[in-house]
Structure 1
């Protein structure tokens, strides 16, 4: 399918939510088209360039998101909240004359539903603690703390990790392998 691409300095995974502020005409037009056509867009991690620049390269694996809320913010900008639906691969991309990136995207296979193994019993507790933060709580995300996908996706989004590491975790298709990597990263954070 063809979809707009929003290069961003952060990631979102299926079921995750992220608030965005829109002020560039290309993205306000994109928002209007997405709402009119009842379609979403792809958030892809910015590799080079700036979020507001016209020249930017972005990762080939991203997340198809849908707009779940929008409002005028106190600063005069348009605020939206999007929710991740599915991971996608960007097969090819191009830029319109207004600077909006578009791409041919394909849905990646859905990850297997797995229970969180006993070896990773601390990870749901870490996630519960993160969800106590008012900003995260305010996003209204639902989490199944027994589902390895949910736990690994939310930890990938919320832990203070390097963005390249987060992208690598996003690209993994095995939730148990992602949990194992996250546990190792948390242990390294504790030691550091």
Structure 2
């Protein structure tokens, strides 16, 4: 198993393979590491922040690519990240400028599988969620896969208001089935509470 050094960005938001997220970068050290990533000096990994921890994130993270960037009104940099590959953070060291460089090991991504039967409800609910959150929907343009159970499950994990440790417990499963069941039960219990 080959490990790889990657520049580490941490945030309180989860990003999974094929997911997209826009973040704001203000810190000059992180602006400089973004430049290094764009020059292909390092691959980039995105981890969920974990307070008072070394490394400063949970061990499961996502290698990602910068697919867009722009200068924001306050002169900070907005970057759009797209998740590519699940990785495990084995260790991390902080450079003098404060940027973290991590040693990672690639993990298996969940395999695509069709949404069938009652699980089509979680796909329809995600579509509605995007309709009321057009900024999030806009990140995907025409790259939405509501027919793929893995894609839909991962998008729900990114947006559900759960504790990160609970999201990561679901993310650490070998496939999307537990997440699909969890989201379906949430939707059903919400629907029965309303009716």
TM-score computed with the length of structure 2 as normaliser:
0.87
Counterpart check, 1:62 vs 2:61: yes
**How many equivalent residue pairs?**
188
Per the alignment, residue 47 of structure 2 pairs with 44
Give the Cα separation in 1 of the matches to 2:104 and 2:186. 30
Give the Cα separation in 1 of the matches to 2:92 and 2:9. 12
Counterpart check, 1:3 vs 2:6: yes
Would the alpha carbon gap of residues 140 and 114 (structure 1) be closer, same or farther in structure 2, given more than 3 Å must change?
closer
Task: Quote the offset at 1:188 in angstroms.
Answer: 4.8
- 1:92-136: CA deviation from partner (whole Å, max 9, x where unpaired): 111111111111111111322221131312100111101212111
Give the Cα separation in 2 of the matches to 1:30 and 1:110. 26
Pairwise mapping of residues 101-116 of structure 1 onto structure 2 (< 5 A)? 101-116=100-115
Per the alignment, residue 30 of structure 2 pairs with 27
Give the Cα separation in 2 of the matches to 1:82 and 1:120. 28
TM-score computed with the length of structure 1 as normaliser:
0.88
**Is the contact between residue 43 and residue 65 of structure 1 (CA under 8 Å) also seen in structure 2?**
yes
Give the Cα separation in 1 of the matches to 2:93 and 2:107. 21
Structure 2: runs of 5 or more not aligned: none
Give the Cα separation in 2 of the matches to 1:74 and 1:31. 19
RMSD: 2.1
Pairwise mapping of residues 82-121 of structure 1 onto structure 2 (< 5 A)? 82-121=81-120
Would the alpha carbon gap of residues 188 and 26 (structure 1) be closer, same or farther in structure 2, given more than 3 Å must change?
farther
Give the Cα separation in 1 of the matches to 2:121 and 2:57. 33
Per the alignment, residue 156 of structure 2 pairs with 155
**Is the contact between residue 66 and residue 81 of structure 2 (CA under 8 Å) also seen in structure 1?**
yes
Task: Quote the offset at 1:189 in angstroms.
Answer: 4.9
